[in-house]
Chains A and B, each alone.
Chain A
Amino acid sequence: MSSDTSKQLLEVRGIGKSFPGVRALNNVNLQLKGGEVLALLGENGAGKSTLMKILAGVQPADEGHILLDGEPVEIKGVQDALDHGIALIHQELNMATNLSVGANIFLGREPQKRGLIDEATIYERSKRYLEMVGLNVDPNIIVGDLTIGRQQLVEIAKALSVDARVLIMDEPTSSLSQKETETLFTAIKDLRKRGVSVIYISHRLGEAKELADRVSVLRDGENAGDLPKEEINHDSMVKLMVGRDISQFYSRTIHKPGEVALEVKNLRTPVHPTHELNFSLRAGEIVGMAGLVGAGRTELLATLFGVTPNVGGEVLVSGKSIDAQSPEEAINAGMALVPEDRKLQGLILEMSVRANMGLASLKRESPNGIFMNDEREGEITQLMIQQMRVKTPSEKQVVRYLSGGNQQKVVIGKWLAMEPRVLLLDEPTRGIDVGAKQEIYGLMEDLAKSGVAILFVSSELEEVMGMSDRTLVMHEGQITGELTREQLSEEAIMQLATGNTEAA
């Protein structure tokens, strides 16, 4: 590998790509030097993932050239890209979760001995690559048993095993814990030292600042500009992405909360059946729920919403006890849950934006509980598309083809359409760009003003601190503390989140 880092390793010239009804990329250029970490930023639907998929051979470009070491190359498929040393780690992990770590790393390239898979070699070599990314697990462990963060590292190890020179990571940290994120960053910095170039996509601008040697921004499928290392800061990045200044990121006006809307008494979830949870939520209140990944926050929301029935305790909505054994009952009581995993739990991917938006309110809007109300469905969809600024060619577009952030907006829209009294949000801004984040924060504020009680789980401390009237902190299935706006600090949250209750 050449140690001359001034020469361009990878160059993209005039790339264009269209989908039915969408011009995803238009005359896009990009350069990457050896050993450089490039942060690729842009709003939802800007075309980041599409560009990366083209580089990795997942999709062909309609026009334009790709040059490697100054030589034009044609990338016809994923194998082609790998042969050229370009590896993509997808926004969604693609692993055979039923196979071992080693088997995944060498999937499709298994070393053989006398016609049989050479397990010993796989084991040894896997171990080496895993060490490179700072992951200390036995290669024989089944991938499905690892946390998402560790699976991510296995993907990187896999990329290294094919001698990747260009490693593309599409929103790798969106489901990682703080600690896993740190490990990942260490691994990336290590790779840079080895001369591997990294293209890093993220909506967390702090990460770009920490990692990137250079920032390149896409807007509406076109180059919006680059920032050299010295000029990388929050405001300059936002300005390039949105084309305007976003000041006043968190717009909260504190008002007097109303009646108790949700009361939780001695609730026990099936995952942590020995802990009893108690808290309440008032109308017009926004309560944040912080904690480390795996603290039991998602389980709590799922239990409240009747997805996994509780094993004890009581839940009252507006003073009325409900024993939600299914989401249907929770919805009837006026609750809504925006789930953590939009693809698995939030969306019917093969259906249209419109069908998805209407899904949770079908019964409510039906004139007689049997027939659909087409007109209302159309109205609701239009309203939500406008309110949430969903970027879609039409309401008929199949949701699978929307960008990640726009899919998330559809999920949220679906739930707002049923006008909930208690809104549960599980990581609502995951994978969402700054502009849309601000819109969602604004929406939360508006909803709170109109009397909706909001409980939102988030792993982004900044967002919890910016948005909540009160913050509950969980640790291993228990609520370890409650912080008012005055008591709120990153430290106080981390203390409680790690189970240290004395400090608060």
Chain B
Amino acid sequence: MKTFFSKLIGSQSEGMKRVLGIFVLLMVVYIITAIINPNFVGAYNQENLIRRTSLFGILGIGVALVIITGGIDLSLGSVVCLVGVGVPWLITDQGWSPWIVLILAIVIPMLIGLSHGLLITKLRLQPFIVTLCGLLIYRGVTRGFTGDQTAGFGTDLKGLRWIATGEIPLFPGFGIPFPAVILIVIAIAVGIFLNRTIYGRYLLALGNNEEAAKFSGINTDRMITLAYVICSGLAGLAGLLFVLDLNLAQPVDFGNFYELYAIAAAVLGGCSLRGGSGTIIGVIIGTALLRVLRNMMNMAFLGFQRAEFAVIGAVILGGVIADELAKRAVARKRAAQKQKQEG
């Protein structure tokens, strides 16, 4: 079991230490919040926390794949908006068949990812620019065709909405929200992809050195494009789950800043923006940390909620600084030990 787990995570030991570090940080924030406000650990709040973490985790995993290639995707939040607003609008306002709309909700984001990938690999445009334009375009389009009107399902589609709102009862009064199951399935699938398949190895290799990967016979363009397709596809799925959960989507701000949460979670979880490294488990813990922090601001430091961004920013900055310092300390200690052994 242990080897299966480590195989899933991969052999990036540097990354594992990082994951352990933020896991400790997560625990600290968690416990502090619980002490200040006991309601935090109440079943209702915990379920909510898990649900939100799961939804944001899906976004984080997607963008992690792109970051591993050395790229970035700034358009996630707008894809969430496009799908989250588009689906209820088409079904409820326009009367389209739910099945067609659901298929579109998956296919269109993947096409969006495909176009990002092709622009980046074939035209050699920079990922930042391409996806920044995406961020503007998809939100603009959504606001345009809905006329900025809030969309929702009303009382329809109760059954479908269960995949976002439902839960698997564990014991009386507490259940695992179903999105957590979805996240786990996705995390395992992507973890296997990244660490057990040759394509995952290709992705990590090209993230480190695209030229050398190409010389090794790797079709780097195809792999990069694939990463963007998966990323946007997962963003679409998350957008769908978000709206199924909330039942309301306002084009102006639905999914606003989500790309930044996702990127922050990936970076906290050990993805280097230079590309070539990252673990899925790290991204999930990073996401959880961000969610708990937000929750903490709402529950433990009432009156300071508006400072949420400042706190999140400070935590991320503190996290990466601590990580860097720890790395140096370890290197120094190792050198000293070595010397003692031999001297």
- Which A residues contact B (CB, under 8 angstroms)? 18, 20, 23, 62-63, 305, 307, 326-328, 330-332, 337, 339, 344-352, 355, 359-360, 362-363, 366, 369-372, 396, 414
Contact = CB atoms under 8 A, between A and B. Distances in A.
A328 B217 contact: yes
A347 B209 contact: yes
Given A307-B214, A348-B212, A370 B199 contact: yes
A346 B339 contact: no
Interface string B301-340: 0000000000000000000000000000000001100110
Nearest to B275: A350
A20 B338 contact: yes
Given A326-B219, A370-B199, A348 B205 contact: yes
Contacts of A347: 209, 212
A344 B212 contact: yes
A130 B252 CA distance: 62
A350 B215 contact: no
A20 B338 CA distance: 7
Contact of B212 (A305, A328, A345, A369): A345
B197 interface: yes
A345 B220 CA distance: 13
Contacts of A352: 11
Given A18-B339, A328-B219, A350-B208, A359 B201 contact: yes
A394 to B, nearest CB: 12
Contact of A307 (B215, B218, B334): B215
B228 interface: no
Contact of B209 (A20, A330, A331, A348): A348
Contacts of B209: 344, 347-350
Contacts, number: 85
Contact of B215 (A18, A345, A355): A345
A360 B216 contact: yes
B67 to A, nearest CB: 15
B213 interface: yes
Given A18-B335, A330-B217, A370-B198, 13 more contacts: A20-B334, A20-B338, A23-B342, A63-B343, A305-B215, A344-B209, A347-B209, A348-B212, A351-B276, A362-B201, A369-B198, A370-B199, A371-B197
B75 interface: no
Nearest to B13: A396
Nearest to A337: B215
Nearest to A341: B211
Contacts of B198: 362-363, 366, 369-372
A396 B14 CA distance: 13
Interface string B157-199: 0000000000000000000000000000000000000001111
B277 interface: yes
B116 to A, nearest CB: 22
A326 B343 CA distance: 52
25 contacts: A20-B338, A328-B218, A331-B217, A339-B215, A344-B211, A344-B212, A345-B211, A345-B212, A347-B209, A347-B212, A348-B205, A348-B209, A350-B208, A350-B209, A351-B204, A351-B276, A359-B205, A359-B216, A360-B216, A362-B198, A370-B199, A371-B196, A371-B198, A372-B196, A372-B197
> Chain B's interface: helix, strand, loop or mixed, by majority?
helix
A496 B255 CA distance: 67
Contacts of B258: none
A427 B132 CA distance: 43
Given A20-B334, A344-B211, A345-B211, A360 B217 contact: yes
A453 B217 CA distance: 20
B229 to A, nearest CB: 17
Contacts of A62: 335, 339
Given A370-B198, A371-B197, A371-B198, A327 B214 contact: yes
Question: Which of A18, A345, A348 gathers the greatest number of chain B CB atoms within 10 Å?
Answer: A348
Interface string B280-320: 00000000000000000000000000000000000000000
A355 B205 contact: yes
B208 A351 contact: yes
A355 B201 contact: yes
A362 B202 contact: yes
Nearest to B334: A20
A414 B216 contact: yes
Contacts of A344: 209, 211-212
A63 B339 contact: yes
A346 B211 CA distance: 8
A34 to B, nearest CB: 33
Contacts of B215: 305, 307, 327, 337, 339, 345-346
Contacts of A372: 196-198, 201
Contacts of A326: 214, 217, 219
Nearest to B219: A328
A371 B211 CA distance: 23
A99 to B, nearest CB: 22
Question: Which of A331, A360, A362, A363 gathers the greatest number of chain B CB atoms within 10 Å?
Answer: A362
A346 B217 CA distance: 11
A345 B277 CA distance: 19
Contacts of A360: 216-217
Contacts of B211: 344-345
Question: Which of A328, A346, A350, A362 gathers the greatest number of chain B CB atoms within 10 Å?
Answer: A350
B208 A349 contact: yes
Nearest to A339: B215
A18 B217 CA distance: 36
Contact of B205 (A331, A351, A370): A351
Contacts of B204: 351
Nearest to A362: B198
A346 B216 CA distance: 8
A371 B197 CA distance: 4
A304 to B, nearest CB: 13
Contacts of B208: 348-351
A23 B277 CA distance: 28
